[in-house]
Amino acid sequence: MLPENPTRAELEAFFNADRFATQAAGCRIVEGRRGHGVAEMELADIHRNAQGNVMGGAIFTLADFALAIACNVGEVPTVSVTSSIEFLSATRGAKLTATADCEKDGRHLAFYAVKVTDDTGRLIARVSATAYRHQPAGA
């Protein structure tokens, strides 16, 4: 388990195992603390669809990675159980940033909001997610 306010090195060491997000998609951690996570992605051709727009899956991967950071810092192992994404605008920038924040934290369930913006300040997508906290037996 990560501490409530880990260093960037601690975050990167822990989340380096999220190879799809970090290696395939190129997501990078900006910051993380209990209930809050920020990740970014420099856009490249691999993130684009046949029409030249950023693929929804790339946007969702970044949002999900920021969510993973916010959910797992200072907490027992936590996974998302539902996520709903709304794509609001096409990106015009060269980088996306996802910011995840806990809106309600319970013993087993927690509720998060994630906003994805581009480096022009445009709101690209928003995600509403519910996460499940796995409590060890006897906890």
Helix (H) or strand (E) holding 64: helix 56-72
Question: Which CATH number covers residue 49?
Answer: 3.10.129.10
Residue 129 lies in a domain: yes
Burial of 20-52, coded b for 16+ CB within 10 Å and e otherwise, reads ebbeebbbbbbbbbbbbbbbbbebeeebeeeee
In the chain, the percentage of residues whose pLDDT exceeds 90 is: 92
Q: What are the tens digits of pLDDT across the range 75-116? A: 999 999 999 999 999 999 999 999 999 999 998 999 999 999
Residue 45 lies in a domain: yes
Residue partners of 120: CB distance under 8 A and separation at least 6: 92, 93
pLDDT at 138 > cutoff 70: no
Domain encompassing residue 43? 8-133
Number of domains in the chain: 1
Residue 99 lies in a domain: yes
Residue 139 lies in a domain: no
